[in-house]
Structure 1
Amino acid sequence: MKAVVQDRFGPPEQVLRVTDIDRPEPGPGEVLVRLRATSVNTPDWIAVAGVPYVLRLSARANGAVRGTDVAGTVAALGEGVTGFAVGDAVFGTKWGSGFATAGTFAEYTATAADRLLPKPASLSFTDAAAAVMSGLTAYAAMTESFQAAPGTRVLVNGASGGVGTFAVQFAKHFGAHVTAVCGPKNLDLVRGLGADEAIDYTTTDFTAGTARYDAILDNVLNHPPRRAFRALAPGGVYLPNSIGNTGGLAAGLARMAGATLLGAMGRANVRSVDGNFTPERLAAVADLIATGAVAPVIDRAYPLDEVPAAVARMYAHHARGNIVITID
């Protein structure tokens, strides 16, 4: 089968190549999926670039196939699998055991049956792929780490990315007053998603203003946590959800760790965002998309042959919404 293989750590267009590899066989409890779409997420560029460097210890490079989001049709069933049949349209994930080495930037992938759901007929494969990691993370942030509701004020920093575009919509759907922080080119985008206010980060520092928020979902961590805490209302929740965009040994991990430590010391209410797959979470996301309450924002759809360029776009932090890979 055709797949995109990583040879070493470095710039995506230098270390990723399209080649033929053996098609995987589903093991016990697994489903072989003929992929129709997948998406590019932050863990993919981290694993390809090897940034921050400390994460290279858990991300094998030579021969790895990246990608975790699954949308396609069942090609074969492993021993003991029930509830699916060959030809069924499904979506879900391979995420859960570190950086995938046999991922979804390929024509086929094998994944555990309990990490798949039937794809609703009203969802395209493209939307289904975009809904998984980004949708799950944003949904968990706005319903579990914090409960967006009427009367609450939510700020989403990095509102124009994959997680951010979903988070703005989820928060607004659940009744919150939403402030979206993004670059000047994306202000109209986030307003169109329902943001009540849009802040251009190149001209306005939200941590220096007088507005206070019940929750800050920080997808960028471009401010030290202590500064971001200034914008919290009494009892407000800070949700760090980024390793930052800088390179080096630890990159933004230091700010993630610092926020967690300050939270443990009682300086602020800091909570992590658990965007891992559960059937209930993914079904809820899919239902909201199917009813039109939320819509995935697709930056671009790339064919499998152009995965290196797609990961490079994610690595450069230029994406407006989700970057999707379509597989014929």
Structure 2
Amino acid sequence: MRAITYGRYGTPDVFELKEVDKPIPKDNQVLVKVHASSINYGNLVLLKGKPFLARFAFGLLKPKHSIPGGDVAGKVEAVGRNVTQFQPGDEVYGDLASSGWGAFAEYVSVPETALAQKPTNISYEEAASVPMAGVTALQGIRDKGEIQSGQQVLIHGASGGVGTFAVQIAKSFGAEVTGVCSTRNIDILRSIGADYIIDYTNEKFTENPKKYDLILAINGYQPILAYKRALKPKGKYVMIGGSGSQMTEAMIFGPLLSMTGNKKIVNLLQRPNQEDLVFMKELIEAGKVKPVIDRRYKLDEVPESFNYFGEGHSQGKIVITV
């Protein structure tokens, strides 16, 4: 089978398209014929080996997993003898980040718990955009943010992969959503239902007198105290990603600031979860969430797709069509 492989950390030019052995599913595994995958921030971490601490999980001197790709959507070709949830012909999608990665290939063999039935009303490409980004948004909004109907929510970085899902998920819970984006992304936020939009090229939400019950910072860069001041009493700030200084502040000072006053600052580390994949499937099939795709690339165009993703200006998700 064809697969994207790499044997050292670096820039996208270390990726190679090669012929490798087709995997054979173990007793508890499902063999998936891959139709599509997508790119997330975690893919960049695995490519570059940065931040350095990530190497303790992914390989200190060289990548532990030679075939990248976490998101997957495809069709079940075979199952191990102990598999009970799937059978050949099932359309599935999933997150392979805890299962060896490997989605940038024509086939992948993974534990059945990494997969769920694909939403029936979207394409493989759309489904492949959901697992990491959609579940990250869900866990940030529902679990860490403890969202309630009627609350006012601000999403900083609302036009990217996680952000476009977060806007729609927050709306599905009955929240009033304000999205922060650049001028070029305003129409995207309008199309997915944002109630208010702040164009950060013309206005800073930190200078706006409005306060929020929940702030989700996906691609933020404001000082942590600025986010805290923008919260209502008992409000929550959830840090998912952003500048290095923002992440450091949230991890080091967040717990301390949460101990003073009634505003909470928390960090999210997304965890692959089959139940959350099912939850996202139900939201999508109910018409409450629609994946937003920026560009599609073929398997042999993976280096080009990473170069574009690394620029940090994607609108929604970047999909790899296999």
Task: Determine whether 1:26 maps to 2:25.
Answer: yes
Cα contact 2:38–2:71 (8 A) shared by 1:
yes
CA distances 1:278-307 after superposition (whole Å, capped 9, x unpaired): 333212211221222211000111111111
Please report how far the alpha carbon of residue 119 of structure 1 lies from its aligned counterpart in structure 2 after TM superposition: 2.1
Q: Which moved more, 1:285-294 or 1:232-241?
A: 285-294
Task: Determine whether 1:320 maps to 2:319.
Answer: no
Question: Whole-Å Cα distance in 2 between the matches of residues 253 and 146 of structure 1?
Answer: 17
Question: Whole-Å Cα distance in 2 between the matches of residues 87 and 173 of structure 1?
Answer: 31
Please report how far the alpha carbon of residue 195 of structure 1 lies from its aligned counterpart in structure 2 after TM superposition: 1.2
CA distances 1:110-164 after superposition (whole Å, capped 9, x unpaired): 1111221222432321121112111111122222222434321100000000110
Give the structure 1 partner of residue 215 of structure 2.
216
Gap change, CA 1:259 and 1:31, over 3 Å in 2: farther
Cα contact 1:148–1:174 (8 A) shared by 2:
yes
SS, match of residue 278 in structure 2:
helix
Which of the numbers 260, 264, 272 marks the counterpart of 1:266? 260
Give the structure 1 partner of residue 233 of structure 2.
234
Cα contact 2:145–2:214 (8 A) shared by 1:
yes
Question: Whole-Å Cα distance in 2 between the matches of residues 320 and 25 of structure 1?
Answer: 37
Q: 1:248-263 counterparts in 2 under 5 A?
A: 253-263=247-257
Cα contact 2:239–2:247 (8 A) shared by 1:
no
Give the structure 1 partner of residue 53 of structure 2.
54
Could you say what the CA RMSD is over the residues aligned between the two structures, in angstroms? Answer: 2.0
Give the structure 1 partner of residue 283 of structure 2.
288
Cα contact 2:131–2:277 (8 A) shared by 1:
yes
SS, match of residue 324 in structure 1:
strand
Give the structure 1 partner of residue 183 of structure 2.
184
Gap change, CA 1:70 and 1:321, over 3 Å in 2: same
Give the structure 2 partner of residue 8 of structure 1.
8
Please report how far the alpha carbon of residue 35 of structure 1 lies from its aligned counterpart in structure 2 after TM superposition: 0.4
Task: Determine whether 1:307 maps to 2:302.
Answer: yes
Cα contact 1:32–1:111 (8 A) shared by 2:
yes
1:134 aligned partner, one-letter code: A
Question: Whole-Å Cα distance in 2 between the matches of residues 188 and 118 of structure 1?
Answer: 31
SS, match of residue 323 in structure 1:
strand
SS, match of residue 44 in structure 1:
helix
Question: Whole-Å Cα distance in 1 between the matches of residues 277 and 74 of structure 2?
Answer: 16
Give the structure 2 partner of residue 81 of structure 1.
83
Q: Which moved more, 1:171-180 or 1:48-57?
A: 48-57
- Provide the TM-score with structure 2 as the length reference: 0.91
Please report how far the alpha carbon of residue 259 of structure 1 lies from its aligned counterpart in structure 2 after TM superposition: 4.6
1:145 aligned partner, one-letter code: K
Please report how far the alpha carbon of residue 274 of structure 1 lies from its aligned counterpart in structure 2 after TM superposition: 5.3
Cα contact 1:149–1:171 (8 A) shared by 2:
no
Q: Unpaired segments of 5 or more residues in structure 2?
A: none
Give the structure 2 partner of residue 145 of structure 1.
144
Gap change, CA 1:81 and 1:260, over 3 Å in 2: same
Which of the numbers 54, 69, 72 marks the counterpart of 1:70? 72
Please report how far the alpha carbon of residue 263 of structure 1 lies from its aligned counterpart in structure 2 after TM superposition: 4.3
Cα contact 2:250–2:266 (8 A) shared by 1:
no
Alignment length (residue pairs) = 318
1:92 aligned partner, one-letter code: G
Please report how far the alpha carbon of residue 188 of structure 1 lies from its aligned counterpart in structure 2 after TM superposition: 1.6
Question: Whole-Å Cα distance in 2 between the matches of residues 96 and 288 of structure 1?
Answer: 24
2:35 aligned partner, one-letter code: R
SS, match of residue 113 in structure 2:
helix
Please report how far the alpha carbon of residue 96 of structure 1 lies from its aligned counterpart in structure 2 after TM superposition: 2.4
Give the structure 1 partner of residue 110 of structure 2.
111
Q: Unpaired segments of 5 or more residues in structure 1?
A: none
1:262 aligned partner, one-letter code: L
Question: Whole-Å Cα distance in 1 between the matches of residues 138 and 38 of structure 2?
Answer: 17
Question: Whole-Å Cα distance in 2 between the matches of residues 172 and 213 of structure 1?
Answer: 15
1:159 aligned partner, one-letter code: A
Question: Whole-Å Cα distance in 1 between the matches of residues 103 and 246 of structure 2?
Answer: 27
Please report how far the alpha carbon of residue 30 of structure 1 lies from its aligned counterpart in structure 2 after TM superposition: 0.9
Question: Whole-Å Cα distance in 2 between the matches of residues 277 and 254 of structure 1?
Answer: 23
SS, match of residue 267 in structure 2:
coil
Please report how far the alpha carbon of residue 245 of structure 1 lies from its aligned counterpart in structure 2 after TM superposition: 4.7
Cα contact 1:93–1:111 (8 A) shared by 2:
no
Give the structure 2 partner of residue 154 of structure 1.
153
Question: Whole-Å Cα distance in 2 between the matches of residues 125 and 259 of structure 1?
Answer: 41
SS, match of residue 312 in structure 1:
helix
Question: Whole-Å Cα distance in 1 between the matches of residues 251 and 145 of structure 2?
Answer: 20
2:195 aligned partner, one-letter code: D
SS, match of residue 73 in structure 2:
strand
Question: Whole-Å Cα distance in 2 between the matches of residues 217 and 120 of structure 1?
Answer: 26
